[in-house]
Amino acid sequence: MAALIDAARAADCPFRIELVLSNDPAAAGLKTARAAGIATFARSHIGMKRAEHEAVFDGELRAAGIEWIALAGYMRLLSPGFVTAWKGRIVNIHPSLLPRHKGLDTHARAIAAGDAEAGCTVHIVTPELDDGPILAQARVPILPGDTPDMLAARVLTQEHLLYPRALADLARLPGNTA
């Protein structure tokens, strides 16, 4: 999220970050967003049914006039109903070269599989986990002796470069505003 905020500050950036939402009121990203002058909203999902929690978030997004959602560090699955309500307007970054290694523990799984490379993928969110049209990917070699943490650090560097660029490319498409 911080990389997206930094990118949005550039005069030629075609997207703006208007609101940062979190299901964790203590999330560090909220403080980062507030320091950048961006509106924030947090509501814990604990004790709420998924549909209730998503309805609260949906209401906040619509009240703020949000047109696109860029997931960054949001680690809860979105329901098919929420994804359908925002069909084609939710973007995610995933730390693997999709369609390989959907879900969690992607770096360990890539190493265990003997993959020569790993990376990250920006994609449009669909109701299926880590699925949907791929917008961009960045590749990182898996080096001899790599641990999941070592690989994760190199992939994260690429995520911070790729996500803002992919969102900017998406925002520049005819008919899109982000």
State the Cα angle at 125 between 124 and 131, rounded to 5°: 95
Respond yes or no on whether the N-terminal peptide bond of residue 99 is cis (omega within 30° of 0): yes
Residue 32 burial by Cβ neighbours in a 10 Å radius (0-12, 13-18, 19+):
middle
Catalytic member of 53, 94, 107, 123: 94
| β-strand pairing of 69-70 with 90-94 | parallel
The C-alpha atoms of residue 54 and residue 5 are separated, in whole angstroms, by: 24
Contact 135, 123 (CB under 8 A): yes
The C-alpha atoms of residue 29 and residue 27 are separated, in whole angstroms, by: 5
Known active-site residue 94: yes
* Alpha carbon distances (Å) from 136 to 18, 27, 82, 163: 23, 27, 24, 8
Active site residue ranges: 94
